[in-house]
Each structure stands twice: as C-alpha cells, then as structure tokens.
Amino acid sequence: MSLLKLSENVAMSESNNGTAKLASGFAKCKEITKRYGTSFYFATQFFPAETRLGIYAVYAFARIPDEIVDDPHASDRQAAIAELREWRGQWLAAMESGESEDEVMNAIVWAFRKYDIPVEDGEAFLKSMFMDEDKREYANRGELDEYMYGSAGVIGLMVTRIVGFSSEAAFPFAVKLGYAFQLTNFLRDIREDCDDLGRVYMPKDELEHFGLDKHDICRHVRDERFVEFMKFQIERTRQIYREALPGIKLLNWRGRLAVRVSYVLYKAILKEIEGANYNVYAGRVRTKAQQKVALSLKALAGVYE
C-alpha cells in the first residue's frame, strides 16, 4: 500500500474532514526524512507501513527546528531565535486545538496525539534547540548530557511510543540509544559543526585531558593527541551502544527490525571514522548503499558487532 493511500485510510478513520491535507502532510514529512536522514530513512523502510507515518512526522518535528538553528547562512541570531519561538508557538497552538492549517504540522499533531507523546518531550527537544543558539561549547559531559537529553534522548522516547513497547523499562534504553546516535553524529560532524556553525560539542575538560582545546578543533588539528582523543570517544560511544542494546527486545516485535537496522547503521559510522584514520576533517564519512544492505542483513540475523 502506498504511503498516500495509507495516509488517507488512517485519516479517514480519524475524521472524514481534512483527509487530503493530512495525507499531503504525511507525504511531506516523508520527503523531509528522505532528504535529511539518509541512514535513518533507509532504516525506516523496515517499519510496518502505519508505524512509518508516525516516525516520519516525529522526524519532521525534529528536523524543522533543527534547520532553523543550523542554517549556516543565517547571519542574524536574533531572527533565528524569533523564528524558532514562532514555530514553537504554532506547534503548541496546534497541539491544543488538535489541528493546523499547515499540512506538516497537522501530521505532527496527529502523531503526537495518536501515540500519546507528552508535550513535555517536545518542549525538552525545543529547549535544546534554543541552547544551540545560546551555547557554543560545553564544559563537561554533564552539560553535554543535558543538551543531548533534549536533542536526542526524547526522540528515542517518541520513537519508542510509536513503535510500541512491552514495558516502560524500554524508556531508559531508548534515551541511551539516542545518546549513542547523537555522539556518533558529533564525532562525524566535528568539522561542519565548528566551521559552519561555530559549535564544539566535544566537552572542554575531555579535550584538555588530551592536550587539546576548541581552537585546535576549529583549526583542524589532527595529530597524535587528536587521534587518541577520537579513539577514546569512539570506544566510549560503542559502550553506550552496548548498554542500549537490551532495550530493543522490549519493543513491539513488528518494529524491532527497523531499530536494529538503525543501530548497526549508525554504529558502523564509528568504524568508518577509524577506516579514515580518524580524519573527520577531510569530509563526512558515510556508509555506502552496499554496506547498508549488508549491515541490514546482519541486523536481521541478530549480529550487532
């Protein structure tokens, strides 16, 4: 069944009004996911069709504010903050009324309401987006964890509610897996974050432990100190993946495979960084299409390392 047809069926079960708008909203959320989340979009294809609607909507909820604060061409910080506040206001109003004139927002509200995603989780995410406008570096891991809870942890909670779970014990594992994904992105995107956005997500005290500082990162210093720093970060991130893994079996069985695929695809980025001899300054490391297929087959077989 096509996404649009499924969207129409779901919308009709909710109401006979606004069916086309809701279906169009889902289609646009899908396009946003496909455009910005290459590995994530690939993994979503392993979700049941109806589950994908909620996943696409939540991805759009996260991506739109993220693009507002991560626009490398934006020169007016106050304008970005104002735009983010306006978007938050539109979302809260739509959540209260249950609908929006904006098609994408309409699909987002549908997903939040259908899967009982707390408004507080959405607010926690947006809090981290506002932090991106105010904060350019992090003193320690505690500060970074506060940011990551909103930017990644609550996304794990949202996905868990959409997929379904057998026990609320799944939630802490979901937060941990969100952290693992986020840390992987931070390591891969060190150059872009500093060059384009002026941000360094590597904690100051951990950089100092290896004799580095934010200026070394922004100058693209890649010496023995940096290599040892990256080795430390990669090994610790792998440990977080291992700690998050038991949570997958607590998810609805129909959604487990997609989460397992996401798990192995994101974790494989760490290996790609190693294969590039830790030179994350040379260009963004990626898993190729062939690798994605091979890794997905491993996930199907229950192989995660």
Q: Which residues make Cβ contacts (< 8 Å) with residue 255, sequence separation at least 6?
A: 47, 48, 51, 162, 163, 164
Same fold, 1-8+19-134 and 137-305: yes
**What CATH number belongs to 137-305?**
1.10.600.10
119 HSE (CA, 13 A, CB side): 9
Q: What is the pLDDT of residue 199?
A: 95
What Rg value do the Cα atoms of the chain yield, rounded?
A: 19
Measured between alpha carbons, how far is 47 from 88 in angstroms, rounded to an integer?
29
- Residue ranges covered by each domain of the chain: 1-8+19-134, 137-305
Q: What is the pLDDT of residue 3?
A: 52
Measured between alpha carbons, how far is 28 from 26 in angstroms, rounded to an integer?
5
What average pLDDT values come out for the chain (305 residues) when binned by 10 residues?
A: 50 55 92 91 91 96 94 77 96 96 96 97 97 93 97 98 97 98 96 94 97 96 97 98 97 93 94 95 86 81 69
Yes or no: say if 17 and 41 are a contact pair by the CB < 8 Å rule: no
Domain range 1-8+19-134, CATH architecture: Orthogonal Bundle (1.10)
pTM of the model: 0.90
Q: How is residue 299 annotated by DSSP?
A: H
